[in-house]
Structures are given as structure tokens and as C-alpha cells.
């Protein structure tokens, strides 16, 4: 992935098609997961299995803050026929404002340098990513011990790629989604509208990393 992100507006259009260099059409669908509460307006993206509950490696929130509130969460699902028939989560989006994005910038945490290439983002070692407010970190007990609401959602039968919003303790919730083809380093982008306001955050799960796009 280059430092110019893909056309996420296209990805989040139901029925959108991207044709790979191999001449195969990848068809996109959009799933609405519900709303995520951000009581502080400070968003965290991370691997929930690795990073929740413990303070040893607690992820920091992004520097771009938004007004506290509840915001829609969506996933863009990409249906492949090459290299084999499979549907994956291509991206997850937190919608802050229903306004068009005119500028994308890397979503960085405090002290993180401005990237010069695509090597930025959050690491996934358990096949899943998540969005949550920074104060919700300890609201999902059992996650580090294969139990609790996060694991219940991950273990539930699903007709497509795993994606859900779960409620934890103290009124906090979390949006969880399987991460594309699996583990890796996944960039999150901040989309800003014509007024310079944050319109959305998009976690990109690099759906085309095993093929090439035309």
C-alpha cells in the first residue's frame, strides 16, 4: 500500500467492484455493526486479544480527537474468487460525520513520527482488530483468558467475516472485526472533510495483499 490510500468511499459502496490485474472482479458489500460509544472522543485501534485488560502494553489513542458521542461502525467486505473463493473484511470505518472526505492523513498516536512509507498502524497477532474509547480498556474482563463478551462474539457462528459491537462493563462497548486475511500491520487513516473536521476513521486490512489491483 502506498501513502496514497485507496478509494475508501468506493469500498464502502454496496456492490462496488475492483478489478485485479489478473482480471478478477472483487465485489464489495457493507455491513452495519451498530454504534460505538466514545465518551472521551479518543479512539483506540488495536488487537483486542493481545492488548485488552493488561496495562503492560496498553495502546495509546489517536491524536485526532472527536466530540464525545455515539458513532456508526461499518465494515467493507470484499468477496474474492482469486486466489480462491473467500470473503474478508477489507476495512472497518467509524463514521463521525456524514460528509465527504477530501483529505486523508495517517491516524497516529502521540509521539509517533510522521510516516514516510506505509509502515505504520496497529499490529494484529490474533486475527482481529477493534475500535474502542481509551477509557474502555479494562471494561472487557476475561479477554486475555479466552472468555467474556469479546470471545463470545468471536466464537459465534457468522455468515460472513466476523464483525460485531459488544457491550462491556460500565456502559462501555467495543467494535471487533476479523482482520482481512489474518495477522499483520494495519494502517488506520483519518478522513477529513472540506471544513477540516474529522469525518471518519478507516482501518485498512489490505485485502489485496495476495493479488494485484488494476
Which pLDDT score, from 0 to 100, does residue 44 have?
98
For the stretch 71-121, pLDDT in tens is 999 999 999 987 778 999 999 999 999 999 999 999 999 999 999 877 899
Task: Tell me how far apart the alpha carbons of residues 52 and 60 are, in angstroms, rounded to a whole number.
Answer: 12
The answer as to whether 80 is a domain residue is yes
The answer as to whether 162 is a domain residue is yes
The answer as to whether 211 is a domain residue is no
Which pLDDT score, from 0 to 100, does residue 81 have?
86
Q: What's the pTM value of the predicted model, to 2 decimals?
A: 0.94
Number of domains present in the structure of the chain: 1
Per-residue tens of pLDDT for the chain, all 214 residues: 457 899 999 999 999 999 987 889 999 999 999 999 999 999 999 999 999 877 777 899 999 999 999 999 999 999 998 777 899 999 999 999 999 999 999 999 999 999 987 789 999 999 999 999 999 999 999 998 899 999 999 999 777 899 999 999 999 999 999 999 999 999 999 999 999 999 999 999 999 876 655 4
Task: Tell me how far apart the alpha carbons of residues 165 and 172 are, in angstroms, rounded to a whole number.
Answer: 11
The answer as to whether 56 is a domain residue is yes
Which pLDDT score, from 0 to 100, does residue 1 have?
40
The answer as to whether 58 is a domain residue is yes
DSSP letter string, 163-202: EEEEE-GGG-EEEEEE-TTSSEEE-EEEEE-TTS-EEEEE
Task: For residue 157, give Cα distances in angstroms to 73, 85, 147, 206.
Answer: 20, 19, 16, 24
Q: Tell me how crowded residue 23 is: count the other CB atoms within 10 A of its CB.
A: 8
Which pLDDT score, from 0 to 100, does residue 208 have?
85
Amino acid at each position: 500500500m502506498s501513502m496514497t490510500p485507496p478509494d475508501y468511499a468506493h469500498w464502502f459502496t454496496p456492490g462496488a467492484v475492483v478489478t485485479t490485474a489478473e482480471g478478477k472482479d472483487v465485489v464489495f458489500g457493507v455491513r452495519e455493526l451498530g454504534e460505538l460509544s466514545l465518551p472521551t472522543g479518543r479512539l483506540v485501534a488495536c488487537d483486542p486479544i493481545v492488548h485488552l485488560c493488561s496495562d503492560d502494553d496498553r495502546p495509546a489513542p489517536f491524536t485526532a480527537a472527536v466530540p464525545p458521542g455515539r458513532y456508526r461502525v461499518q465494515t467493507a467486505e470484499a468477496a474474492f474468487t482469486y486466489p480462491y473463493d473467500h470473503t474478508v473484511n477489507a476495512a472497518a470505518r467509524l463514521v463521525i460525520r456524514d460528509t465527504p472526505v477530501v483529505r486523508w492523513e495517517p491516524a497516529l498516536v502521540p509521539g509517533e513520527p510522521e510516516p514516510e512509507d506505509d509502515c505504520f498502524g496497529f499490529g494484529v497477532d490474533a486475527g482481529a482488530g477493534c475500535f474502542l474509547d481509551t477509557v474502555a480498556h479494562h471494561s472487557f474482563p476475561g479477554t486475555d483468558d479466552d472468555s467474556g463478551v469479546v470471545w463470545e462474539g468471536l466464537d459465534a457462528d457468522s455468515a460472513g467475516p466476523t464483525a460485531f459491537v459488544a457491550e462491556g462493563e460500565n456502559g462501555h462497548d467495543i467494535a471487533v472485526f476479523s482482520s482481512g486475511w489474518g495477522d499483520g500491520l494495519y494502517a488506520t487513516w483519518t478522513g477529513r472533510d472540506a471544513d477540516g473536521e474529522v469525518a471518519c476513521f478507516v482501518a485498512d486490512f489490505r485485502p489485496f495483499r495476495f493479488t494485484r489491483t488494476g
